[in-house]
Amino acid sequence: FFEDGVYVSFFESANSDCIILYLEDCKDLSKADKNFLHMFANNISIAFENLCLSDEMLDTQKEIIERLGSIVESRSKEAACHISRVANISYELARAYGISKDEAIKLKMASPMHDIGKIGIPDNILLKPAKLNKDEYVIIKTHTDIGRDILDGSNRDLLKLAKIVAYEHHERWDGKGYPRGLKREETSIYGRITAIADVFDALTQKRIYKEPWEIDKALDYFKQESGKQFEPVLVDLLLENIDKIKEISKECNT
């Protein structure tokens, strides 16, 4: 509305977010100018609503990913907090690596799906409280392919990233990993980061088949595997940011 040379436009979205457009010195506006201003305000409101819908869709994708990841972790009898810790460690390493904040957040949201393929692994293998034999190990390795197939076909950036993470988090820097034996930068940086976050949390937390390692023992392992299982730069960043990562490791420690 116009009053005393001031124009005010108020818009409230479906989720109760609001925006106000306030303009002064509008006394000399013609009728055409006012109509144009109304059109401008309406366009702003439409753009604002689209932004809100986009945020809601992203939040929905994030929640679905977290819930699916939790289902897998719950089934495998591992701490449900594993996926949260891996997500937060991945974010810290991504930022330290120089990845933008937006991309690091996307990785944080996608990494909980890294083991979604385990949903297709039989209980007698997934829940075995001992080392797997050769045949069982062949079967457990298929969870990367299963994860890729579950997430395949989506046009959503977040789910595309989740597919990469699920498929590549067991590749190695030296090319001796699976499923494709990729080496060095042939594996996505997102897969390389999730790999180191996943292994760190697996080593330092209690599992059905093992007791947790001390932090120093785990770090010695990463030093030994630098340039072999893991990218050397990422190992260095893990060591440099260990104080932050130790705090993450304490999160809902079960």
Catalytic center residues: 118
| Selection from 228, 212, 229, 231 nearest residue 85 by Cα | 212
Radius of gyration of the chain (CA): 24
Beta bridge partners of 19: 11
Is the preceding omega at residue 232 within 30 degrees of 0, hence cis?
no
How many C-beta atoms surround the C-beta of residue 111 within 10 A?
Answer: 31
DSSP state letter for 13: -
HSE (side-chain half, CA atoms, 13 Å) at 26: 20
Tell me the residue type at 42: N
Q: Are strands 18-23 and 2-3 parallel, antiparallel or unpaired?
A: unpaired
Q: How far apart are CA 11 and CA 17, in angstroms?
A: 9
Sheet holding 6-12, edge to edge: 2-3, 6-12, 18-23
